[in-house]
Copies of this chain bind each other. A is one copy, B any other.
Amino acid sequence: MRQALLLAEAAAQAGEVPIGAVVVRDGVVIASAANETRARPDPTAHAEMLAIRRAAEALGQERLTGCDLWVTLEPCAMCAGAIAHARIARLYYAASDPKGGGVEHGARVFDQPTCHHRPEIYAGLGEGEAAALLRDFFAARR
């Protein structure tokens, strides 16, 4: 989560919403990414999506079986869907997101009968720091 938070901080400095994500397997970092929606521009370029795409490319496989995803904010419905498609084993996220989250809020993607894979979910590690990064970012842009 330390690395995900550093990626989020770098994203903020680049003018992107500060969210970072890291894919890990057996203690080894397979891929990492920060949010890049503005730079590309690409509305799907959330940190989780980019980290999953890069991990699949690095491993040469569609399913990231045995891989964990660490991300600084509760994934939205799009990213939760991608996590299910990728068969991520464990999802760790820092801050929860009542406004846009799709795990414990809104679409609750993993709780649906149409969801073909539900990772183990651990929330809250690094929550304070992740939330502060987002708060400061949006406060500075007002």
Contacts and interface: CB of A to CB of B under 8 A. Distances in A.
A34 B107 CA distance: 26
Name, among A99, A102, A106, A114, the residue most crowded by chain B CB atoms within 10 Å (CB to CB). Answer: A114
Interface stretch (A6-14, A78-86, A128-136): A78-86
Dominant SS among interface residues on chain A: loop
Given A53-B44, A105-B114, A114-B106, A80 B77 contact: yes
A124 interface: no
Interface in A67-115: 76-82, 84-87, 98-102, 105-109, 112-115
A46 to B, nearest CB: 8
A49 interface: yes
Nearest to A64: B43
Given A52-B43, A77-B80, A78-B82, A102 B107 contact: yes
A27 interface: no
Nearest to A76: B81
7 contacts: A40-B57, A44-B52, A44-B56, A78-B85, A81-B102, A105-B114, A107-B109
